[in-house]
Structure 1
């Protein structure tokens, strides 16, 4: 299993009226890191022929993050079968190691020409293992 990660710093734009990171921002970060992981690993030829759509999203909030916190966002794909793939995202406070959120998303692999689900090829599955 290949882990992809990045570190971000919480900014004022990430906060809600309670001065902690807005729940919607976590959802955006989950989507953003999935896209970055995909783009880092794939070729232009694959990008021209395939794309992913989100089927389901489950997120658990374990702790809060506030202005200035440095967050380590980690993602990995745990399973790819048929036309779907399961991706996990964990967000940690880098300063104290505390787990902030966990997420599990299910993605469907799509053919760019037909706009229909298509089987995940061994080549695609190997990009994340």
Structure 2
């Protein structure tokens, strides 16, 4: 399993009225790191032929992050089945080494020219193993 990660510092525009990271920001981060991982591993040719759309997000919130916290986002592909790829994203408090959020997202692979679902090809699946 190939893991992709990045570190962020919580900024004031990430916060909600309770002064912790807004739930919507976590979803934004899930989508951002997913896209970054895809772009890092694939070629421009592959990205011109195939696109991903979200089918379902499931998010579990365990603890809150606050202003200036250093957080680590980690993602990997848990499984592929037909056109669906299940991606896990975890958000960790880097200082306390505590899991803050865990998201599981089902992404549907589409042919970029027809927008029809397409089975995840083996050569794509192996790029993320």
Same fold per superposition (TM over 0.5): yes
Bucket of the pairwise TM-score, normalised by the shorter protein = over 0.9
In structure 2, C-alpha distance between the alignment counterparts of 1:72 and 1:128, rounded to whole Å: 19
Deviations 1:20-73 (A, max 9, x none): 111100010000000000000000110111000100000000000000000000
Q: How does 1:55-74 map to 2 (within 5 A)?
A: 55-74=55-74
- What is the Cα-based RMSD across aligned positions, in Å? 0.5
Q: Which stretches of structure 1, 4 residues or more, deviate above 4 A after TM superposition?
A: none
In structure 2, C-alpha distance between the alignment counterparts of 1:49 and 1:98, rounded to whole Å: 38
TM-score, normalized by length of structure 1? 0.98
Mind listing any 5+ residue stretches in structure 2 that lack a counterpart? none
In structure 2, C-alpha distance between the alignment counterparts of 1:4 and 1:106, rounded to whole Å: 17
Secondary structure at the counterpart of residue 127 of structure 1: helix
Match of 1:3 in 2: 3
> How many residues are treated as equivalent by the alignment?
129
In structure 2, C-alpha distance between the alignment counterparts of 1:99 and 1:47, rounded to whole Å: 31
In structure 1, C-alpha distance between the alignment counterparts of 2:8 and 2:29, rounded to whole Å: 10
Cα deviation, residue 127, structure 1: 1.2
Match of 2:119 in 1: 119
TM-score, normalized by length of structure 2? 0.98
